């Protein structure tokens, strides 16, 4: 089972925790500017995802993984990211980046 973790610079970041293993990561570029980072991760066990609100003061939220969309395969998760980057005639770009270190 796979999930997609999302982070938006200056707004919030989502961190892999025990039970989640990052396998691929992408920067979402729109107009050449990085707007978000997506991490496709294997959900090895149900857990609570760390979501850190980066607005002052920083706030830590623990979100149960059951609330995230789940994908049966890595390819299905990639297809979802491709869908997220298509806006009619406007096309954003996904740029592969190094996978974050394990928690």
Contact 98, 25 (CB under 8 A): yes
| DSSP sequence for 16-30 | --TTEEEEEEEEEEE
Q: pLDDT tens digits for the chain (103 residues)?
A: 999 999 999 999 998 899 999 999 999 998 888 999 999 999 999 999 999 999 888 899 999 999 999 999 999 999 999 888 777 666 688 999 999 776 5
Render pLDDT for 6-19 as a digit per residue (tens, 0 to 9): 999 999 999 889 99
Residue 56: predicted pLDDT = 84
Beta-carbon count within 10 A of 94 CB: 18
Q: Are strands 59-64 and 12-15 parallel, antiparallel or unpaired?
A: unpaired
């Amino acid at each position: 089972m796979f999930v997609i973790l999302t982070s938006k610079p200056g707004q919030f970041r989502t961190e892999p925790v025990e039970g989640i293993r990052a396998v691929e990561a992408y920067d979402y570029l729109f107009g050449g500017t990085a707007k978000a980072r997506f991490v496709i991760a294997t959900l090895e066990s149900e857990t609570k995802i760390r979501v850190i609100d980066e607005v002052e003061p920083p706030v830590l939220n623990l979100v149960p993984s059951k609330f995230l969309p789940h994908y049966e395969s890595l390819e299905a998760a990639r297809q979802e990211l491709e869908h997220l980057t298509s806006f009619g005639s406007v096309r954003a770009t996904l740029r592969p980046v190094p996978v974050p270190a394990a928690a």
